[in-house]
Structure 1
Amino acid sequence: TCALTSTITASQAACKKVVIKNIYKRFPEKENQDKCKEYVTQLKTQAFLDNPLLHRLVRKEFHRGHSWVKNQIVYQQVGYKCQRISRNTYQLELAGLTRGKRNKIVVKSNRNIKGQIRLIYNQILQRFEIHFLVDHGTVEIPPERQSVGVDKGYTEALYDSKGQAHGEGLGKVITKKSDRICAKNRNRGKLWALHRKLEKLDPAKSARILKNNLTRKTENRRYRRNQSELTAIIGAASKSLFNGESLKVFAEDLTQPIKNKRQSKAVSRKLNSWIKGVMRDSLQKWANWTGSVVTEIQPSYTSQIDFRNGTLLGKRTGDNFTGFDGVVLQADYNAAKNILARGTDFEITRYMNKTEVQAVLLRRTARCLKGMGLSLLDAVELGWLDSKHSKTQAFKQLLIEI
């Protein structure tokens, strides 16, 4: 019952988050901000049932509970007995279908198994697993938490606003895995073509190729091993970031796919292997263990702003960010400082779209240039401001106003 309740609660929370995004997309204008806030307040109570718009959006996004799971069963404490055999080996006696007779299984665990457990038969690995809750104790939360901005990267997992990199070597592991899978699949494509060619000419050889060379058993095992390695690097990075302290972490909301970005097939393939969701879950897990809070912010242009003045005057090239005054900053450190600043920026909210964020940043850039006696066009001619911004409506509007 507790597991079912927590699942429903998580589903409702996910639904509310999607509905809030849809509300801000539906009413993007600045004069509708009060209306959006009112809708968000109604979502937190049952008041949304009386609002036709909110009721319709919730019904559309909420995924009701339907389950056809047949590979697991939940046992309460009275439904099994646990006996320790050796240091990390336990024997479980589980209630079965026959009255008075229990089924014995031996499992490996570094913790004593107690309380409600979930027995799951893993169909991929062909084994039984025991899932249970572990009490990690209580966490003392200080009255004030230190604020830290975190930039999620490819080369290293995390880079904080203190100038520390966490999870170095992540990019090399992802690239190696991606290249290996690409080369493997190219060879498999040739074998598939040979298999289809021989289906009529030599059926026996075609069947041998299909059986011995085109199965997924070995590749699936290797893929799981690669994923475990990546998860371990990200977990170690998150642990290093918090370091047992209670922090207030600001991180990018990377749930939305990157659109309108031209890149090669090789780059797209490597970025598809970039496990952003694992980073998000790992940060949240360690935040829960240390009593920290993770707040996600709008990620647009965080790597293209100079954190010293909060403007778009500068250019990122690889791992370096060069300001308009010629000062070279570490690009990930600069992005982490911008993320930290955006965490307390009331003008740029999490659910604003990229165009609105760009308009706000251009206004700030224009004010900064005005103090130096220059305009946005001057900044473009001097190479301080990227010329792509001059094509936007916000840029043209600012030229008229100034």
Structure 2
Amino acid sequence: MPRKVGTTKKVSTQVVPVVGMTESVELELLSMMKKLGIVRSESYNKLGSINHWGLDWKKAIPLIKSFRTPGSLGLPAKLMDWTINDVAKCITASQAACKDAVIKKIYKRFPGKENQKSRKELSKQLKNLTFLSNSLLHRFVRKEFKRGHSWVKNQIVYQQDGYKCKRLSRNTYQLEIAGLVRGKRNKIIVRSNRKIKGQIRLIHNQSLGRFEVHLLVDYGNVKIPSDRRSIGVDKGYTEAFYDSDGYAHGKDLGKVATKKSDRICAKNRNRAKLWALHRKLEKLDPAKSARIFKNNLTRKTENKRYRQNQSELTAIIGAASKSLFNGESLKVFAENLTQPIRNRRQSRAMSRKLNSWMKGKMRDSLQKWANWTGSVVTEVQPSYTSQIDSVTGTLLGKRSGDNFTRFNGVVLQADHNAAKNILARGTDKEISRYMSKTQVQAVLLRRTARFLKGMGLSLADAVELGWLDCKHTTTQAFKKLLVEMPGTSR
């Protein structure tokens, strides 16, 4: 039995619909949201600049109240403070994402062990505004950091002392939330399976035409063992995940996504024809043009169906993540997919509309279940993981569809082979997460050349035998290795 060394909380976001409120309460809430939207917008304009790099969100309130007071908008001070803190936390997260992107550029600009000290020094400068004196870092940050702006005016943030929750029946609760008038609380009824507590966010969902309460739910603690089992995960399209143990998770994902994308593409092609007809008839027959627009070109029904499609795909991805962890605390190595997944079976429209969304959902779902099981997800450099022979760790072999054929003729399952390579990449000291594709290729070609040298062959011999893809022959690393390791004549 492994020794228990710690615990972590199982936390998830829950969306609770509002099922009852009076018309006067609704009007007051919408008025509050509009006023708090001004606070949110001005907070982003003030704190979103580069001058507030390394912002401490706890010190944001005085900076905003120096030019905008609650009385000028007729707002309670607490509601304004909670909104400012929420904006400051969002800006802090945006800065952290920018730092991650800049560090990646630093690793690309200064690769290798000889530049380790330079990378460390540059990364250290990103913690505060000292990077402004470094022209290189300043340029990197200027390209990656997007100055904050906000047009959000449909939400109110409440802390625990801003509302009271009272149970009415089994799945119905009444919330008494702070309003514009001091001492007077507005009552709304929500449908929930648990009592609401902690920070909540009241949102007016305009696409669904309803109010919702978003909150974090704590489902208890999970114990973390001292020795987590390591596993590699290949993210795909046909299956959501394929692990290094040889199991596929979310097998129906590709079939369902393709069906839905084909329907969307076909419908949009037909809409384009109707749209052209509508524009043509605007002057010739305005009445018919208006009928076509009203009956065929509105988005209400299609948006509803698109949300249903996304919900179905989200359910498949969530079930795949749950199946992958299976309640076990793991150390997961996964691909760092910064580009959309490429697949010949998909249309370009599919890649644009669905792939990037699915990629984000896979990442979020993995992280959610990792948090719930006390696991750790580590992202690795994904280049060439599907083109490496997991047995030898070289570029000898060829992938074709779901099969990977090794140089000796043995056929492996391609996704299983890729998952094993990702697992090996997680502990690879030569290939870091931020290395470029060209640098990874150079490392792998050197390993391949060393392997072939033991067989008395060279890289050129491997290309001639069909073991190595000829695309590698155009690189500088390949030409350099031909000189260093020429092999022996066959």
Shared fold (TM-score, shorter chain, > 0.5): yes
Q: CA RMSD in A?
A: 2.2
Gaps of 5+ in 2: 1-81, 486-490
Quote the offset at 1:241 in angstroms.
Answer: 1.1
Distance in 2 separating the partners of 1:391 and 1:50: 40
2 CA distance for matches of 1:387 and 1:277? 34
Q: 2:348 aligns with which of 268, 271, 274?
A: 268
**Greater Cα shift, 63-72 or 364-373:** 63-72
2:445 pairs with 1:365? no
1:46 is displaced (CA, Å) by: 7.2
User: Any stretches of 5+ residues in structure 1 without a counterpart?
Assistant: none
| Residue equivalent to 1:38 | 121
Matches of 1:264 and 1:199, distance apart in 2: 40
Q: How does 1:234-313 map to 2 (within 5 A)?
A: 234-257=317-340, 266-272=346-352, 273-274=354-355, 275-313=358-396
Q: Take 1:287 and 1:44, find their aligned partners in 2: how far apart are those partners? A: 28
CA distance in 2, matches of 1:334, 1:192: 48
CA 1:6/1:289 → structure 2, altered by over 3 Å: closer, same or farther? farther
Q: Which amino acid aligns with 2:424?
A: A
Listed one character per residue, the Cα deviations across residues 243-279 of structure 1 (whole Å, up to 9, x for unaligned) are 1221111100101357xx8x86954333332211111
Please state if 1:227 is matched with 2:310.
yes
- Greater length-normalized contact order (CA 8 Å, ≥ 6 residues apart): 2
What is the alpha-carbon distance in structure 2 between the residues aligned to residue 362 and residue 172 of structure 1?
Answer: 36
Q: Distance in 1 between matches of 2:192 and 2:146?
A: 35
Classify the secondary structure of the residue corresponding to 1:124.
Answer: coil
- Any idea what SS the aligned residue of 2:219 has? coil
1:209 is matched with which residue?
Answer: 292
- Quickly say closer, same or farther: Cα 1:392–1:55, change in 2 above 3 A: closer
1:75 Cα deviation after fit: 2.0
Greater mean deviation of Cα atoms: 332-341 or 193-202: 193-202
Q: Distance in 1 between matches of 2:257 and 2:218?
A: 33
| C-alpha separation in 2, matches of 1:212 and 1:197 | 17
Report the CA distance between 1:50 and its aligned residue. 6.2
Which residue of 51, 54, 57 corresponds with 2:137?
54
TM-score, normalised by the number of residues in structure 2: 0.77
Code of the residue aligned with 2:348 in structure 1: it is S
Q: How many residues align?
A: 399
Shift of residue 5 of structure 1? 5.2
Q: Aligned partners of 1:267, 1:202: CA distance in 2, in Å?
A: 36
- Measure, in 1, the Cα distance between the counterparts of 2:215 and 2:418: 39
Q: Secondary structure at the match of 1:254?
A: coil
Is residue 2:242 matched to residue 1:162? no
Partners of 2:346 and 2:276 lie apart in 1 by 23
Letter in 2 for 1:10: A
Match of 2:468 in 1: 385
Partner of 1:200: 283
1:358 CA drift (Å):
0.7
Q: Name the SS for the 1:135 alignment partner.
A: strand
Matched residue SS, 1:156: coil
CA distance in structure 2 between the partners assigned to 1:366 and 1:235 by the alignment: 42
CA distance in 2, matches of 1:110, 1:398: 65
Deviation at 1:374, TM superposition (A): 1.1
| Post-superposition offset of 1:110 | 2.0
What fraction of aligned residue pairs are identical, expressed as a percent?
A: 77
Cα deviation 1:303-323 (Å, max 9, x = unaligned): 000000000111111001010
2:396–2:467 CA contact under 8 A, matched in 1: yes
In the other structure, the counterpart of 1:152 is 235
Cα deviations by residue, 1:83-108 (Å, 9 ceiling, x for unpaired): 22332222222232244543322222
The equivalent of 1:315 in structure 2 is 398
Whole-angstrom distance in 1 between the partners of 2:203 and 2:286? 40
Equivalent in the alignment of 1:325: 408
Decide whether the 8 Å contact of 2:340 with 2:359 is kept in 1.
Answer: no
